[in-house]
Amino acid sequence: MQTSLAKAFLATPNGQQAEKILRACVHCGFCTATCPTYLLLGDERDGPRGRIYFIKQMLEGQPVSENSRIHLDRCLSCKSCETTCPSGVHYGQLLDIGRLELERRLPRPFLQRVFRVCLRAILPYPKRFSVLLRTGQYLRSLLPEDLHKQIPSHQQPGKLPQAQHDRRVILFPGCVQSVATPATSTIAARILDRMGISVIFPPSTGCCGAVDQHLSAPKQARARMRQNIDAWWPELEQGAEAVVVGASGCGAMLTEYGHLLADDPIYADKAKVVARKVRDLSQILEALPLEQLGINGHGRRVAFHTPCSLQHSLLLGGRVEKLLQRLNFSLAPIADSHLCCGSAGTYSILQKELSRQMLNNKINTLENNDAEVIATANIGCQLYLATAAHKPVVHWIELLEN
């Protein structure tokens, strides 16, 4: 695509990156067919090609309006368009640049800004989120019945094994996951321990930075990245093999550290190393002889929902399914498995109507079979699917506990 970005903008790292991405797009429109918002709304402005075109116009200096923001806000950042694109266009990176520039040129209305600040002040902080969740759980019986499912039930974390093995990995607990479904980490830790790998939780680990990054607060996101690198670096230097992540949304963010801190004079190199050490839980477990632990699904029928972050960001689609099949689980075929469930970080809070339509479509495909349980690999999807599902929704690691 031909571009003529504003000169001052072109002189910045974001400007150069945006131009490179825009030039890679040949405007073929293949990506449109796999974009969840285009499929629902049928409007080119709500598909990747339309959004790319809008971002290009904005970066070339054309006027922006609240109407342009509507179409950009409706994007899930699911990256389904990226895995479809034959030209390798890094749409997600362009979207981050576009959103940032739009915030600068056209600040949001006051109430929207306050709401976003509140989300950023709660979700990345386990203690604060825990207070909110426990209050909701305590008051649940007073709420109307249709709201009950919006609040996840309390989950016992279970016992963590002592770190005793030479082989060890850092286990990233995740802010929301560590509060809402703490058993995901403890079950993973117990299985790894039985396989001769200890897990460690470096104490000053914080949020991966995804909430800030996706709400156009890159400075705060970078501060969180640096904090995590500082927390993990001594462990990695002393031989921790990997940073293992049970929530693919966090994993997708952690693998971006190298790119997002590339211009940081102090952290750039360390960020690249950390990003290379990140492993989804499925990547660690698939390499281990789990059968020796007696883990066997005995043909249990499972409907697996592949999170967008797992398949479109980490490019690990099919891995969990393969592992479950290896362990004798039976997987129900799922139609349109490339499409988002509507959770998408804070999307289900900020774009309620659209995300609910996506959720209902997703539940229809996940429950249109004889599976007894729905499994997934990301806390956001897990909690959101559970608000509408008629079957239990679990993290897939829970299926492996015996």
Residues that bind ligand SF4 (CB under 6 A): 25-31, 35-37, 48-49, 51-52, 75-81, 85, 87, 89, 91
* Beta strand segments in 320-363, E: 330-331
Which lies closer to ligand SF4 via its Cβ, residue 29 or residue 107?
A: 29
For residues 64 and 127, the answer to whether their CB atoms sit within 8 Å is no
* Residue 53 beta carbon to ligand SF4: minimum distance, rounded to whole angstroms: 9
- Please provide residue 244's backbone torsions phi and psi, each rounded to the nearest 5 degrees: -95, 135
Q: Which is nearer to ligand SF4, 39 or 332 (CB)?
A: 39
Half-sphere exposure of residue 120: CA atoms within 13 angstroms, side-chain side:
20
| CB closer to ligand SF4 out of 78 and 331 | 78
Supply the minimum distance, in Å, between the C-beta of residue 264 and ligand SF4.
Answer: 26
Q: How far is CA 334 from CA 120, 230, 306, 327, 374, in A?
A: 34, 41, 10, 19, 11
CB closer to ligand SF4, 51 vs 190? 51
Q: Which is nearer to ligand SF4, 327 or 341 (CB)?
A: 341
Q: How far is CA 314 from CA 51, 181, 284, in A?
A: 23, 22, 14
What's the closest the beta carbon of residue 24 comes to ligand SF4, in angstroms?
7
**Chain centre to alpha carbon of residue 366:** 20
Q: Which is nearer to ligand SF4, 49 or 226 (CB)?
A: 49
State the nearest-atom distance from the C-beta of 206 to ligand SF4, in Å.
Answer: 26
Contact between 190 and 161 (Cβ < 8 Å): yes
Smallest gap from residue 268 Cβ to ligand SF4 (A): 27
Report in angstroms how near the CB of residue 331 gets to ligand SF4 at its nearest. Answer: 25
Could you tell me how far CA 37 lies from the centroid of its own chain? 18
Give the CA-trace dihedral at 69, 73, 79, 84, to 10 degrees: -50
